[in-house]
């Protein structure tokens, strides 16, 4: 990695858990800022907009703003504008991310002429993933609607344990409807490409830090980015042992990242 190479940083499980900072994370972020390291926070979070994420992190002392954050909904909007212009999209998501979906037409039902949604968009699992909502998605996809998902994460870490995420539902939906969703968030190549473009960085000069070995670390490494796994958030030793690849670096926590960036820059 070149001196002052760029750093892509996952948020949940790396900087915070349930939006509370992990020990040493704020201080480490300040050190990266002081060293002028180009950085972007890259997250599959589907519960808040970039503006609200930035506000929450800044409240805890992280020196970041909305422009430092790239979310799966923001990249999904870019995908929909490019590949499904003018489409009527049915969004199933837990949380309000409409502010990150400019130029996307969201609909709930058939219009007065009986036109049904053209694209089913799955965001994050939670209360919105009811049987009725998922069954409607199934029927629309059977009728020819495109299926786009912001990610296929299987679970995430909350303050009181692991919670089942979109990927678990998506697998059943894909199997039942005999189709495969287009994934727009991590680990898709489109997401990492958008992040590198955002920073004007090259894959070889960039480090990705995450707590999900597949979605963050190995996915980044497949795109030529150096991968660092942190032992916080959803990290579990057995997941690392069973993984299909090996991280370039394994760190105790985000607090070790400034030191690694310095060593890689030498």
Nearer to Mg ion, 13 or 205 (CB): 13
Nearer to Mg ion, 10 or 256 (CB): 10
Nearer to Mg ion, 158 or 197 (CB): 158
Q: Which of 69, 58, 53, 71 is nearest to 30 (CA)?
A: 58
Shortest separation between residue 1's beta carbon and Mg ion, angstroms: 22
Q: Which of 253, 255, 192, 182 is nearest to 220 (CA)?
A: 192
DSSP tag of 21: E
Shortest separation between residue 212's beta carbon and Mg ion, angstroms: 5
The span from the CA of 9 to the CA of 62, in Å, is 13
The set of residues, in sequence order, having a beta carbon less than 8 Å from that of 244 and lying 6+ positions away, is 214, 218
Nearer to Mg ion, 50 or 88 (CB): 50
Q: Which of 260, 250, 212 is nearest to 233 (CA)?
A: 212
Shortest separation between residue 107's beta carbon and Mg ion, angstroms: 31
Shortest separation between residue 11's beta carbon and Mg ion, angstroms: 7
What Å distances lie between residue 85 and 73, 102, 181, CA to CA? 16, 12, 18
**Torsion angles phi and psi, residue 6, rounded to 5:** -80, 155
Tell me which residues touch Mg ion (CB under 5 A): 10, 12-13, 211
Shortest separation between residue 43's beta carbon and Mg ion, angstroms: 7
Shortest separation between residue 13's beta carbon and Mg ion, angstroms: 4
The span from the CA of 129 to the CA of 122, in Å, is 9
Nearer to Mg ion, 211 or 256 (CB): 211
Q: How many CA atoms lie within 13 A of 60 on its CB side?
A: 21
Nearer to Mg ion, 13 or 185 (CB): 13
Shortest separation between residue 57's beta carbon and Mg ion, angstroms: 14
What Å distances lie between residue 120 and 127, 201, 251, CA to CA? 17, 33, 38
Q: Which residue is nearest to Mg ion (CB)?
A: 13
Q: Which residue has the tokens 């694209």?
A: 119
Nearer to Mg ion, 32 or 208 (CB): 208
């Amino acid at each position: 990695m070149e001196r002052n190479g760029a750093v892509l940083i996952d948020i949940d499980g790396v900087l915070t858990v349930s939006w509370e900072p992990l020990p040493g994370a704020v201080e480490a972020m300040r050190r990266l800022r002081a060293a002028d390291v180009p950085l972007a926070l890259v997250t599959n979070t589907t519960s808040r907009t970039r503006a609200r994420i930035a506000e929450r992190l800044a409240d805890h002392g992280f020196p970041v703003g909305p422009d430092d954050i790239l979310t799966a909904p923001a990249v999904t909007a870019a995908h929909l504008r490019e590949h499904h212009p003018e489409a009527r999209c049915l969004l199933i998501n837990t949380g309000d991310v409409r502010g990150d979906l400019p130029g996307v037409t969201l609909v709930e039902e058939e219009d007065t002429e009986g036109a049904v949604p053209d694209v089913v968009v799955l965001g994050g699992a939670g209360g919105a993933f009811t049987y009725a909502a998922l069954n409607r998605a199934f029927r629309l996809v059977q009728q020819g609607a495109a299926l786009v998902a912001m990610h296929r994460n299987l679970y995430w870490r909350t303050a009181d344990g692991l919670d089942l995420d979109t990927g678990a539902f998506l697998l059943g939906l894909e199997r039942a409807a005999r189709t495969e969703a287009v994934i727009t968030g991590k680990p898709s190549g489109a997401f990492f490409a958008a992040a590198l473009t955002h920073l004007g960085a090259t894959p070889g000069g960039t480090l990705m830090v995450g707590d999900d070995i597949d979605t963050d670390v190995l996915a980044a490494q497949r795109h030529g980015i150096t991968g660092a796994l942190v032992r916080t958030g959803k990290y579990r030793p057995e997941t690392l042992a069973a993984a299909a690849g090996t991280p370039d670096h394994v760190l105790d926590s985000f607090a070790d990242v400034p030191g690694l960036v310095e060593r890689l820059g030498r």
